[in-house]
Amino acid sequence: MDMIVTPTGRLKGELQALSSKNYTTRYLLVAALAEGTSTIRFPAHSEDGEAMRRCIRDLGAVVEEDDEKIVVTGFGRHPRPVKELNVGNAGAVLRFVLSIAALLPEVTFVNAYPQSLGKRPHDDLITALQGMGVEIEHHNGKLPITVKGGHPRGGKIQVSGSVSSQFLSSLLFLTPLLDEDSEIEVLHDLKSKVVIGQTLEVLAQAGIRVEASDDLMHYRVPGRQKYRAQEYTVQGDYPGSAAVLAAAAVTQSDVKLYRLTEDSKQGERAVVDVLRAMKVPLTHENGIVHVQGNGRLTAGEFDGDEFTDGVLAMVAASVFAEGTSRFYNVENLRYKECDRITDYLTELRKAGANVEEKRDEIIVHGRPEGVEGGVEIDAHFDHRVIMALTVVGLRAKNPIRIRDAHHVAKSYPQYFDHLKLLGAQVQWVE
Ligand SMILES: O=C(O)C1=C[C@@H](OP(=O)(O)O)[C@@H](O)[C@H](O)C1
Ligand SMILES: C=C(OP(=O)(O)O)C(=O)O
């Protein structure tokens, strides 16, 4: 399905933010790793959430759900042997479950999205698990991947963090269940470091003890721990909301987004500060972000690694800013659903934006006068490209057509309905 985005001058209204993808995947996993029954309130309903539900069900968790909660009875440290797992296009789900699969004799992760997740590298996690005595068959570090586990060893574990923080998170979920205590050392660098705060928060909520160094590069994890069955409440999602806030920032707007707590550990919370730095009129109080956009933005320079999944939306906003913006320290955007630097900038240029790339930077020469539009955009299987190009389309001079925009459902199936509620002119076409 394609989406036609027609230029829209004004947005007005109030929305409840969607539920957090990253907390939903984590709560489902720790609930499955507990032996009792856990309840997850307000889980995200999206393809990635569904992928984690499918995997934990296949591994033996009992999952029941209604409109507002999921009840999970876990399998503890004894997942059910299964031949195949399908994680859809969800990187975090694949990486987290890969380590848990090491508790099984043999399981293959199938390649359901050869053009997206099928291109992403998992070498660093594979190497770490091999060091723990797990045999792994793979295709140059990519899917399909077969894990031949059984009895992974704890002890001294090393993992590179230079491509993704998900590899470290994955090991932090597995190691508490091992017989030995573990010491995890992160090699090279740790990208998307802020997300590790979410992993540690969820582990603590599940009753798991982990000692982390202040720089988040070293961990001590006692073995033989048990995940506690719990009640969890999922908070609002900043990465998805970033696109709605960017849309409000580039138009004449009066938009309130609820359920965005000021003290959230989501790094993408920083998009509120980014927009503020771009001089977008807004307030953030009592979990409500209120944008009263006047369409005027000022360029700025930002460390994108602080708000990884919000960068594309902020770049889209900066397309209309006065001056040149720079988003640096973003190389790992190249290893996401698509190459979020080269592929994304290709689409932005088609729409009329003036952008440049470096290996680890996106540079935007703002066009406050607007961009031409009137083009077809390739979604590259990437929900965040779809959301960001929609923001650009709202302020273009002519409509844009985003091909295969249904991939927005990876994280935010209601995105276009939410924008419509605010008055955006967006329309699905076959
Ligand atoms: O741990 C997580 O849930 C995630 C970590 C981040 O990935 P990287 O660590 O690969 O940057 C983020 O982009 C992704 O959407 C979710
Ligand atoms: C990169 C993302 O997700 P994942 O790595 O889980 O596929 C994302 O949600 O933007």
Q: What is the pLDDT of residue 67?
A: 85
The residue-averaged pLDDT of 224-245 equals 98
Would you say the CB of residue 92 lies under 6 angstroms from ligand 1? Answer: yes
Q: Which ligand is closest to the CA of 195, given by its number? A: 1
DSSP code at position 86: -
Whether 193 has a pLDDT exceeding 90, the answer reads: yes
In whole angstroms, give the CA distance from residue 225 to residue 195: 23
Q: Which atom of ligand 2 is nearest to the CA of 94?
A: 6
β-sheet bridge partners, residue 377: 402
Q: What is the pLDDT of residue 307?
A: 98
pLDDT in tens, 351-400: 999 999 999 999 999 999 999 999 999 999 999 999 999 999 999 999 99
**Closest CA relative to residue 157, chosen from 138, 177, 176, 175:** 175
Q: Which atom of ligand 1 is nearest to the CA of 95?
A: 1
- H helices present in 34-90, as ranges: 47-58
Q: What is the pLDDT of residue 342?
A: 98
Count Cβ atoms below 10 Å from residue 331 Cβ, excluding itself: 17
Q: How many angstroms does the Cα of residue 398 sit away from the middle of ligand 2?
A: 30
Q: How many angstroms does the Cα of residue 301 sit away from the middle of ligand 1?
A: 22
Q: From atom 4 of ligand 2, which residue's Cα is the shortest distance away?
A: 91
Q: Which ligand is closest to the CA of 96, given by its number? A: 1
The residue-averaged pLDDT of 101-127 equals 98
Catalytic sites, residue numbers: 309
**Closest CA relative to residue 426, chosen from 411, 41, 408:** 408
Looking at 66-197, which runs of residues are DSSP E strands?
69-73, 84-85, 107-109, 135-139, 142-148, 155-161, 182-190
Q: From atom 8 of ligand 1, which residue's Cα is the shortest distance away?
A: 164
pLDDT in tens, 130-179: 999 999 999 999 999 999 998 999 999 999 999 999 999 999 999 999 99
Percent of the chain with pLDDT over 90: 99
User: Which structural domains are found in the chain, ordered by start?
Assistant: 2-17+236-429 (3.65.10.10), 21-233 (3.65.10.10)
Q: How many angstroms does the Cα of residue 193 sit away from the middle of ligand 1?
A: 9
Contacts of 389 (CB under 8 A, 6+ apart): 5, 316, 347, 348, 351, 377, 379, 400, 402
Whether 308 has a pLDDT exceeding 90, the answer reads: yes
Q: From atom 5 of ligand 2, which residue's Cα is the shortest distance away?
A: 91
Q: From atom 8 of ligand 2, which residue's Cα is the shortest distance away?
A: 309
Q: For residue 182, say whether it is annotated as part of any ligand binding site.
A: no
Mean confidence (pLDDT) of the chain: 98
Q: What angle do CA 93, 97, 99 make, to 5 degrees?
A: 135
DSSP code at position 252: E
pLDDT in tens, 66-90: 989 999 999 999 999 999 999 999 9
Q: For residue 264, say whether it is annotated as part of any ligand binding site.
A: no
Q: What share of the chain is helix, strand, coil (3-state, %, to 5)?
A: 35, 30, 35
Per the rule left: phi > 0, alpha: psi between -120 and 50, beta: everything else, 11 is beta
Whether 406 has a pLDDT exceeding 90, the answer reads: yes
Would you say the CB of residue 165 lies under 6 angstroms from ligand 1? Answer: yes
Rg of the chain's alpha carbons, rounded to an integer?
Answer: 21
Whether 203 has a pLDDT exceeding 90, the answer reads: yes
Q: How many angstroms does the Cα of residue 183 sit away from the middle of ligand 1?
A: 22
Tokens of 74: 């876990």
Would you say the CB of residue 97 lies under 6 angstroms from ligand 1? Answer: no
Tokens of 136: 């792994």
In whole angstroms, give the CA distance from residue 301 to residue 299: 7
